[in-house]
Chain A
Amino acid sequence: MKLGNDPEAEKFRAEFGAFLDEHLPLAAQATERPRSSSHMPEWTRRWQRTLFDAGWLLPGNPPEYGGRNATLPQVLAHTEELSRRRIYHSFNPQGVGIIAASILTFGTEEQKKKWAVPLLRAEMTASLGMSEPGAGSDLAGLRTRAVLDGDHFTVNGQKVWTSCAHDADVLLTFVRTDPDAPKHKGISVLLIPTSLEGVVRRPVPCMTDPADTDFNEVFFTDVRVPTENLVGELHKGWTVAHGSLGHERTMLWISYAERLEDLVRDAPSDAEWYATLQTDLQALRLLGYQQLSGTRNPAEVSVLKLFGSEAVQRASWHAMVEAGEASLLHPARTAPYNHMALEVFTSSWFERYARTFPGTIAGGTSEVHRNIIAERILGLPR
């Protein structure tokens, strides 16, 4: 155990910091705002490409995929530096963090060139098609059907909560290819361009604002998807699901730490909850570093997700309540505008509180994560 950071990682952090100082888009260049996390105004595309070309988009990757073969402590320093400055390195975060990452792990060389690189260079955007009306927490129960027919799959079915599908060029879609296999074993993953005939997207506004469309329903009717769009092996989609979410989950705690830090900054108080907020923030960081050391049970990421999302929710509630009747104001701004991040992080107290619920629902509900902790860490019977 030691407090000091790896000197190599610190050098790396300083180098990245200098790059950001020099290349960060100005507020005046960033007036067109992204309306969803698959909608990228031109300036956000230029920004992501600048990072890609300099090897600063995903530094752990090799240069051809937007990186510089960085070590894990260096990757952490990079993520922390972005987080500290509240900079979105991509305004299509799931496209870069989950979909391109999955293609790089499970895809063919051809797929990497055709899909991953354009996603990383912000030439296209992607959303993730997992949940269905009948398959939320029980994701493996998904029923969207893909039938192999020569050189293509024919896809029929429906996805829901597909964030930003209406703005995405392609959907990484989990489909059932073998209805007779046990439910985890008959799933495959297809890249489905949204331009294909038979793909219909219907945005569903969020509770915070009827104009805020993030969620989508996506309907597939006899959609012909070329077999070359199959990511990973046929019927082995569950492995991809674990892999894609795994990419996200090991560092997901940093986003919760960011929200806790936001609250420390935006809601100073001399009430007890504010001490708990600071204590939670410190504890989350420590548990995150512990997890990154790689010596822990991988199921411990459930501890980080559960604890981080619930700590943010508790503190956001306290911040909202402490502001009293002023929290009725909506829309409102509760923190300085930051052109390099989404407005939702600085919006009304109501919105900031309401938006903590995606944290405790998406990516496995808190209830599911408690089950995972109980079964995979404590060894309680299923």
Chain B
Amino acid sequence: MEFEFDEDQRLLQQAVRETLAKTREQPQDALWATYRELGWLDAPPVELAIVLEELGYVADPTPFLATATWFAPLAGRLPDGSGTAVFDGAGRFVLDADRADEVALLTGSGVVVLPGTEVVAERVATFDAGLHVAHVTAPSELVAGVPDLALMGLAITTVGACRRIFDLVVAHVKQRHQFGVPIGSFQAVKHKAADMYVAIERARALAYFSALTIAEDDPRRRRAALMAKAAAGECQHVVFANGLQLFGAMGFTWENELHRYLKRALAGDLLLGPALVHRTALLALESAKEGAAA
């Protein structure tokens, strides 16, 4: 297997980074128009992961994630405008359900797509003020069936947010002096930072592997998606704890931007269930396979 970006993928990553660096101050509508215009919503799984990682890095405020990785795999098409989906069997904590133009519902009798205006969705207040999360009152009986793409999408978005936290923290410990030296020269600090790095590398590799198995419709795709979501959650745990700790009191303030990414990363773990849920699902998947083989 070849597990590195090819030339086109590298160029895409660079282009996405450059675009997002330029559009930082723009309002959501303008961002959304840019993303659509650049065709990011149409990207195949690995390329989509490249885009999502960078959107996670900037804690993107648009409904891109839900549209591309919740609505699209369920409906089998892109929505007219933005979209989301209800596939948890309950309609709880649905990303962007309060503002989506179209909502796909996984029901006992298949997928039903409704205009957003016909879906009762109540936004709930969460710790991440930039995130839209809503409870949906479903018009028909719902069943659970989370798409692999949705797990991968949240995983790589979380990894992107973790990378941002990591970059902020590394810059901070290089610049912050105590006892006459940069705090990044202390081993206790270095080791926490190194652990953040390893956790990110592990989760990032698994997220791209998940995207790759989806792209090639490989039989390991479910397993890979569960691993990716679990690893992203585990990564977030290390990066949140070590990152906030290393940033000191400054990181605990509202003025510092660190909290935006800490929250996006933590939300990424919790949405669709934290790491524990996916570790358990992985075990169930393996024992089901064994049962089938026996």
Contact with A along B266-294 (1 / 0, CB 8 A): 00000000001001101100110000000
CB pair B201 A303 closer than 8 Å: yes
Closest to A290 in B: B3
Number of A-B contacts defined by CB within 8 Å: 125
Tell whether B202 is near chain A: CB-to-CB under 8 Å. yes
3 closest A-B pairs by CB: A374-B190, A275-B279, A286-B205
Chain A interface size, as a band, is 35 or more
CB pair A270 B287 closer than 8 Å: yes
Given A272-B276, A275-B279, A374-B191, answer yes or no on A380-B184 (Cβ-Cβ < 8 Å).
yes
Chain B residues lying within 8 Å of A1, measured Cβ to Cβ, are 2-6, 9, 46, 208, 212
Task: Select the stretch in A2-10, A93-101, A134-142 that faces chain B.
Answer: A2-10
Tell whether B80 is near chain A: CB-to-CB under 8 Å. no
In the complex, what distance in Å separates the CA atom of A344 from the CA atom of B141?
A: 56
In the complex, what distance in Å separates the CA atom of A57 from the CA atom of B218?
A: 34
List B residues 149-179 near A (Cβ within 8 Å). 170, 173-174
CB pair A282 B198 closer than 8 Å: no
Chain A residues touching B, majority SS: helix
Shortest distance between the CB of B176 and any CB in chain A (Å): 12
Tell whether A114 is near chain B: CB-to-CB under 8 Å. no
List B residues 203-252 near A (Cβ within 8 Å). 203, 205-206, 208-209, 212-213, 216, 218, 224, 227, 230-231, 234
CB pair A378 B197 closer than 8 Å: yes
Shortest distance between the CB of B39 and any CB in chain A (Å): 19
Chain A residues lying within 8 Å of B205, measured Cβ to Cβ, are 283, 286-287, 290
Task: Select the stretch in A217-225, A347-355, A365-373 that faces chain B.
Answer: A365-373
CB pair B185 A278 closer than 8 Å: no
Chain A residues lying within 8 Å of B231, measured Cβ to Cβ, are 279, 283
In the complex, what distance in Å separates the CA atom of A243 from the CA atom of B199?
A: 28
B positions within 8 Å CB-CB of A: 1-6, 9, 46, 170, 173-174, 181-182, 184-185, 187, 189-191, 193-195, 197-198, 201-203, 205-206, 208-209, 212-213, 216, 218, 224, 227, 230-231, 234, 276, 279-280, 282-283, 286-287
Q: List 29 A-B contacts (CB under 8 A).
A: A1-B6, A1-B208, A3-B216, A272-B279, A272-B280, A276-B234, A278-B227, A278-B282, A279-B230, A282-B227, A283-B202, A283-B205, A283-B227, A286-B205, A287-B202, A287-B205, A289-B2, A293-B3, A306-B194, A307-B202, A370-B190, A373-B197, A374-B190, A374-B194, A378-B194, A380-B184, A380-B193, A381-B174, A381-B181
